[in-house]
Structure formats: C-alpha cells, structure tokens
Structure 1
C-alpha cells in the first residue's frame, strides 16, 4: 500500500462538459468581435455636444422673495414702534416720579407750616395765660402794699404828660415815639425793643445810664407808691429786685412799654396791666 494512500485527495471535482463548452463559445465570440474591429481600422471619434439647461426663476419664486422682503420691513417697523413706545413709557415714568416727589415735598412743607402755626398758637395761648397769672399776682401784691396807706386813693394819679418838663419830658417823649415798634427779646433799638432795653434807651436821652435788666432797674432809684407817680417813673411788675417786666409812666394814668411779641411797643392805661410797684430816678 502506498504511503500516501491514507491522505484524502484535494483535487477539485471535474466540471461538466456542458459548462466547459459554454465558456469556450463565449470566449470565441469575444475574440472574433475584437478581430473584426481591428480589421475595420481605427474609428473617427465624433465630438460630443450636450446642452445643459439652467433652471429659470419662476414667477412664484419672485413672489416669495417679495413677500419675504415685505415681512422683513414690517419687522423693522414693529421694532422701531416698540422702541418709541418704550421711550415714551420711560419718559412718562420719570415725569410721574418727579411729580410724586414734588407732591411729597409740598405735603411736607404744608405739614411743617401747620406744625409751626400750631406751636405759635400754643405759645401765644401760654403767654396770655401767664400774663393773666401775673396780673392776678400783681393785684394781690398791690393790695398788700396799699394796705399800709389806708387814706390814699386806689386810683392812679391823673397828672398829664403835657405838664412834664426837663429830663422827664425827654424820657416821656422818647418812649412815646417808639410806640408801634416791634418787641424782640434782647432788643435795644432803634426799631425793636425788649422792656428794659426801651427804658434804658429812654433814660439815656436824659443822660442817665440805667442797668440793662428789669431786676436791676426795679431797685435803681427810690421806691414810690403807685398813688404818687410822676411822669418818667419806672414801673415794674413782680417784686423789687426780681421784676420780670418794666415800663415808663408817662402821666395821665398811662404807661409806654415794650410788652410782648404779639403787641409790640404800646401805650396803655395802668388798668390794662397794673404794675406791682415803681421807682423814681429823677
């Protein structure tokens, strides 16, 4: 037995005769065709011409483009309108804010004015109450001082300022000339006074220097009874040495004094605000 007998054969199986014949026929036909073509000689190549038709823009496309342009323009107009509206709204807001601030300012000013008027009214009412209280106190003190002279008259002397002469006349004339001037605390003239500032200025016309304040003026000179007053005497309200108000007696039962901020400098009867006492300097 051969040494290769046990190895299987790898040869391809033989093809059928019919398939071989077919392939041979096809090959022969192809070769024949090539041979005929070669005998006929080289063929003339004909140029190839081809017309390429470009697409044309139809009317429908033109309409679409026009519509798109119109839409773009409309969007631009809408944006411009919106910008104008926003600017107008911003301007209106600023105007409203300014008007509100002005209204608040006016309201605050009105409130302050009302508060000031109220405070002024309260101050005047308080001043009137204090004056009434002082009047009551002066009446009591006057009654006490008058009890030591039971034979004297309770009424003020009736001497007239027209009979005044000398230094007293100068003092009285100056005091009367200031009637109508304003009352200002600490005022010493020439157009506004407080009570002691007026008496000091009046006495200066006679060459006499009075102390500046009411308390000192109420003890500067000789104490005299209210029933024995002479023009030029200094009237005081309160106790001697602690007086809170002074004025000048001008005769005829009247005095001139810088009373308060409501009345200013006035000429009044002693009965208007009866003094507590008086001193004579002349």
Structure 2
C-alpha cells in the first residue's frame, strides 16, 4: 500500500457551473447534428436533382408588342404581294402595247398597199379605156394602125391561116379540136402549128409572151380579156382591126372587129 493511500486529498472539488455544462452539451449536440446532416447528405447523393425554371410572365405590354410585330409582318407581306401584282400588270400592259403597235403598223401597211393597188387599178382602167376608144375609132373608120393580113409572113401567116380555117366550128368548154374548141384551146392549137407550145388555159396564155400595147398590135398577137395572169378569154389578132376567137356556145368560132369586144391587153410570142 502506498504511503499516500489513506491520505485525503487536500484539493478542493471543482465547482462546475451550470452554464459550462450547458455549453458543453450544446457543442456536443452541434457535433452530432453535423454528423447526422452529413450522413443524410451521403444517403441522398445518388438521387437526381430536378431544377425548375420559371418562365417570364407574358405581360400586357409584351402581348401588345407581339401583336404589333405580327401586324407589321403581315402588312409587309401584303405590300410585297401588291408590288408583285403591279409589276406583273405593268409587264402585261407593256406586252399588250407592243402587240397593239405591231398590229397598228401592219394595218397601216395594209391600208397603204390597198390605196396603192387602187391607184394602179384606176390608172390601168383609164389606160384601157383610152386604148379601147382608139380601137373603136380605128375600127369604125376602117383604118388600121397594125400590119394587115396580106403582109403577114412566116409563122404569123400560118397561125392566122389556121384560126381562119376554124371559123364556124362549135365552141365547147374544154375542147381542143379538131371539130370544136374553147377560146384557149383554139389559141393553143393555132400556135402548135408553128412549133410553139403554149399553156392550156387563158390565165397562163395572157403572160406567155411579151406584153404589147393595143395601139401597136401585129398579126399573130394573142389578145386577152381581164388582167394579165388572170384573163378569162383569149383570141388571135389577124390584122386590119379584126380578131378570130372561140367566143361562146352561141356564136362558136367567129371573126370580129376589135370594137365588138375591146380586149384588155395583148402578148407577142412570135
């Protein structure tokens, strides 16, 4: 046994105040709380965290701005459409104006040509009228400005001899002889005697040779009625102001003076 075992301690017992005990208890409690919080956080560390965002509230001002923006966009689209329609209308108007101008020019040219044709036709009628007057006067006085039959020689004499030999035969439309002829059939057959091949119809025969004036006819010239290229009747001039032709079914092939039926023109193939 220690030599101090039975000796009482002379140290005074500590006098712990209530506040000190309370403070220690509080500290201990706080440590426990932190520990518990840590454990809790550890337990939920693997769970996903959901974050909620609040969208801004659409206020009256914002709604007005959106509406105004939509109106502006719609108005701009309407403007673009209107401009496009105007551009299309302008292009169509320009195209139509160009077509109208071309049509007007064409009509003006047609009127000009018609006026020129009318002037030429009037001049031709006046010329034919003057020539017919001359022919009528010559026939009535018995004077001829042309070569007479008696002086015709060669091919002209052969043609005249042939057509005079046909006088009294019948006129039959489309006939080419030998017992009947129509007007162009007789002329074609007459010139065939001298080796000249003429077209079959009067329209073509009226342009078969050189055009000559009715005041300068020679025996053997081809007379035609109507215009050159569209004549409706032909005959052969035989001199002394006379012609032989297949006139019509009533008269047949006859010899007549130019005044009987003044021709329009004449061509020379000999």
TM-score when normalising by structure 1: 0.47
TM-score when normalising by structure 2: 0.49
